[in-house]
A and B are shown apart, each in its own frame.
Chain A
């Protein structure tokens, strides 16, 4: 298909762009296959480049022959374009609509994007399971890397290599897989070096109404327990939801069959509910006319903050079982691709200082989200402004980032990255020139030949020039477990995302610059002092021994 067929009017002059808290720009609007571009054609003025994939929905309005298109983006920005001429406006609108809702993945921008930088370190090769396993091997020999899923037939949403208990053979894995939703049998998620406890994740067991059991599944998870020790199963659903799941063939682990495990139910919402919450929250944030009462009641009604609290609480619980109770943990919900991953990845941020570095966090996202089979393409197809009937869209990953931001805010010195890094990940998960978040699983990504045909986000982010923006100047590495407060008053609205376009950030940006400045100045002084100290030491040795006190 040629994009040109979809672009009825490629260029309109005299278009006026309105953005909140920014001056209006008049210029020429151009449509290309992947971008909406507005250029003022004057020097030194900013151009707008908007990926069609970033457009969530549009609205058209007409006053006489002047048309207005309101463009609502997946990054939550809302812009307005005043277009002279009714026909031009209609053409532009229908082109944007068509280009922003292309069905075929292979028509997406990442397949056309050619980087203007040289790829030095290929992000596609950065985080391979074999490497992660080598690290594990250096700590314990209880685990092995299984190739049982090498053709993705055992579990289509799992990667080809999986870490499983050493004593469990591939045949047992296949049987356990047939007992778990989507074939997602329990696999290793995290090994806690401090005490050797582990966190595993899976999908719900298919017990059904008549209480099916699977000896291999029981054996598999029991293999992770020390003799005489009990473990915890954290089911992210309420007991009522888990009960209902039985009618559809799902269910939960029966005490009788899993005597060594204690099951705890939490109440993380299902993804369709989360999507509704996002829509309500963004609606509330975008209405500046709200009275205080109305704002607070809308914030409450969106349940967004409640979701943040519940997810963080569950992650803390998992971390607590591992670190404080010295017990191993199995986490699952229904499919094991959403709330399960939120919990396992957040628990690792709490427990493992490595996950708080940039590389470590990238590795975490690769491991616990991309390779673990979070369906990014389905979940991030639409954002808060989608008009259509929601299909599988849900802000699962955004909620995870929000939770990370909450911890980052409570421990501002414990993370190597800053808030901008999280916001950048949010943007790229929804619309990107890079291929990283395309597809729903490792299998799909392989089929799309992403690593050959597109550039990895990490190839770009990890360049020193880019990385600089994402470094937290306050970072002081520490080896501690960090316990965030989950009290409601400790959890704030993530303004950097939700109020980003609704206020000027000039003063806050200045404060950040000031902070960077203070720390850079300190480093500069340290360097000077150190070099003087060296000179002094040299002088001392040249001059012979001194009477030091």
Chain B
């Protein structure tokens, strides 16, 4: 509270740049967690902006009508305010600047957010996603793979989960030796097992090979992974970096696998750029979305210049390559980049979405994120700037994964149980710090923060509201929900994600969405089904009291029909 210089400012204008007549006047409140704008209109419409979602606040020179202030959010919403008094504007600016940059975890919203759940429910909620059950679901043959205790208490690798699946044939010494030969101890471990072909996706960080170093343990580790797929004679090592970047790493004693030292591996570079390139690219894309009245050329040129879609294509191409190797060629793949927590997570999870229909369901995507991102030490707090810290650590890695899924949804409209809104909601919560799931940078850190005791889990909350996130076209028995997805990745297949990046201006929002119409129709069908069965249950000879029940439902229903016609 000590950071709030002014809790309330009246007669603030919320500006709609495209349609000025839609601008509104109201009162601005600052709470310890939110900025709240309440319109003076009769509806008293409220806009709540979470401090932790604020990306930056910018003030413009005071003009006769007041002091303009722009609040830009990490989920790409932009709020343009006009504050009558310059002094108030400065106070709001100073307060928000401080409030949106927490200095320690304790200041984060998740530690004060209290949705009124009792202790028992909260604990149960944390068990909603169970990774052990997930590895069971994959059908991993226990004669080939097992859980190693090597990383108990994070002894081997402090950014990995404590439970790791490794080839059963890899001796403990090999595991330890391999970890020593990998950047930050992130040794090759199982991420996904494809039951249909017995091929697997494993992940790691880069080897510490430099120009000549080698490790027989690491070589044996890869051999063991390859052998865990009985029918295959070689395996792919997918280095998701551009080859030049990988070569440059050799000078620092890191690099990539030497094909001469590892037997039967095929090395493949994919060329996903590093986090700094991605950060700059997204910034350019956001700038395009914020252009005032751009021409078509400004827009297309800006889109090209940002390079964003090129990067999205690279990530999707990586996933397609891996999925094809695993499903069509039956070849196991080891994926790595430098540290194995950004591009590796992207490539593994995109491949998994392509390979396994389960990850295209609402719960399955939660599981996938929990597995490939949360448990394997994707640095959420660094990448999404949860705390005031090094801006060079920030990068939209997860944004790109979610966008790859969205691009796939455009090509396979029936293949996903969830809709665009689900992806956008996930994106918001990765940044919002409202729930504990994405706080910290690895499992160990989360354990040390005792997040499960002190914060709430996002997953059950999303699950309860799943009706809102359901794709009406999804049917479990539809052909698109079965088997492996084979998307086209020609340049023209990629689209600008308007639902995500087109939110700087309210009035550009789309008017009608077919998905929403269909959901309404489906909901209505459900009511009709219920009414139908209610009617059918009523025997012909009954007393009047029972018969009135369905009639009541009927009244409601008629009312709805009229509403729809009035639209």
Q: Enumerate chain A interface residues (CB-CB to B < 8 A).
A: 284-285, 288, 290-297, 299-300, 303, 305-306, 308-309, 410-414, 474, 476, 478, 482, 485, 487-493, 499, 502-504, 507-508, 510-511, 514-515, 518-519, 521-522, 525-526, 528-529, 532-533, 536, 539-540, 543, 546-549
Contact = CB atoms under 8 A, between A and B. Distances in A.
A491 B554 CA distance: 42
Interface stretch (B24-32, B81-89, B100-108, B509-517): B509-517
Nearest to A296: B304
B528 A526 contact: yes
Given A411-B512, A514-B478, A290 B473 contact: no
Given A514-B475, A514-B478, A536-B550, 5 more contacts: A293-B304, A487-B508, A510-B480, A518-B472, A518-B525
A355 to B, nearest CB: 17
A413 B513 CA distance: 8
By secondary structure, the B interface counts as helix
B481 to A, nearest CB: 11
A525 B529 contact: yes
B491 A295 contact: yes
B507 interface: yes
A300 B297 contact: yes
A529 B491 contact: no
Nearest to A532: B535
A295 B490 CA distance: 9
A37 B503 CA distance: 51
B532 A529 contact: yes
B508 A529 contact: no
Nearest to A21: B488
Contact of B554 (A288, A412, A503, A533): A533
B300 interface: yes
Contact of B296 (A488, A502, A525, A548): A488
Contacts of B137: none
Contacts of B132: none
B310 to A, nearest CB: 4
B20 to A, nearest CB: 14
A492 B495 contact: yes
B288 to A, nearest CB: 8
Interface in B478-511: 478-480, 488, 490-496, 498, 501-502, 505, 507-508, 510-511
B556 to A, nearest CB: 12
A525 B508 contact: no
Contacts of B512: 410-414
Interface string B291-320: 000111111110110010110010000000
A546 B304 contact: no
Residue from A294, A491, A514 whose CB has the most chain B CB atoms within 10 Å: A514
Contact of A539 (B480, B514, B540): B540
Contact of B514 (A285, A309, A412, A507): A412
B303 A511 contact: no
By secondary structure, the A interface counts as helix
B552 A549 contact: yes
B567 A296 contact: no
Given A414-B512, A511-B413, A488 B300 contact: yes
Top 10 closest A-B pairs, CB basis? A488-B299, A511-B413, A295-B491, A296-B304, A300-B300, A292-B310, A525-B528, A306-B296, A546-B544, A532-B535
B366 to A, nearest CB: 24
Contacts of A491: 296
B35 to A, nearest CB: 26
A518 B526 CA distance: 11
B411 interface: yes
B310 A285 contact: no
A294 B491 CA distance: 9
Nearest to B479: A510
B310 A291 contact: yes
Interface size of B as a range: 35 or more
Contacts of B300: 296, 299-300, 305, 488
A491 B493 CA distance: 15
Interface of B: 18, 289, 294-301, 303-304, 307, 309-310, 313, 411-415, 472-473, 475, 478-480, 488, 490-496, 498, 501-502, 505, 507-508, 510-514, 517-518, 521-522, 524-525, 528-529, 531-532, 535-536, 540, 544-545, 547-548, 550-552, 554, 564, 567
B535 A309 contact: no
Contacts of A297: 301, 304
B508 A528 contact: no
Residue from B473, B479, B545 whose CB has the most chain A CB atoms within 10 Å: B473
Contact of B521 (A291, A478, A485, A518): A518
6 contacts: A306-B296, A489-B501, A491-B296, A507-B480, A510-B414, A521-B525
Nearest to B475: A514
Residue from A292, A410, A510, A546 whose CB has the most chain B CB atoms within 10 Å: A292
A510 B514 contact: no
B413 A508 contact: yes
Residue from A294, A485, A489, A546 whose CB has the most chain B CB atoms within 10 Å: A489
A266 B97 CA distance: 44
A511 to B, nearest CB: 4
A546 B295 contact: no
A299 B411 CA distance: 20
A240 to B, nearest CB: 17
Contact of B490 (A308, A410, A503): A503
A548 B544 CA distance: 9
A296 to B, nearest CB: 4
A294 B310 CA distance: 10
Contacts of A488: 294-296, 298-300
Contacts of B529: 525
A546 B547 contact: yes
Nearest to A527: B528
Contacts of A511: 413-414, 473
A444 to B, nearest CB: 36
Contact of B547 (A485, A502, A536): A536
A529 B313 contact: no
A546 B538 CA distance: 15
A499 to B, nearest CB: 6
A292 B309 contact: yes
Contact of A410 (B511, B518, B540): B511
Given A295-B491, A488-B295, A502-B492, A476 B528 contact: no
A518 B309 CA distance: 34
A539 B536 CA distance: 14
Nearest to B555: A549
B511 A482 contact: yes
A419 B300 CA distance: 25
Contacts of B490: 288, 290, 502-503
Contacts of B521: 518-519, 522
A333 to B, nearest CB: 20
Contacts of A478: 567
Contact of A522 (B295, B498, B524, B552): B524
Residue from A285, A414, A546 whose CB has the most chain B CB atoms within 10 Å: A546
A478 B567 CA distance: 7
A74 B112 CA distance: 64
Given A285-B492, A306-B295, A522 B525 contact: yes
Contacts of A499: 492
Contacts of B535: 529, 532-533, 536
Contacts of A528: 528, 532
Contacts of A533: 535, 554
B527 to A, nearest CB: 9
A490 B545 contact: no
A492 B493 CA distance: 12
A276 B412 CA distance: 33
A490 B297 contact: no
Residue from B492, B514, B521 whose CB has the most chain A CB atoms within 10 Å: B492
Contacts of B508: 485, 487, 489-490
Given A295-B492, A510-B414, A522-B521, A410 B510 contact: yes
B493 A503 contact: yes
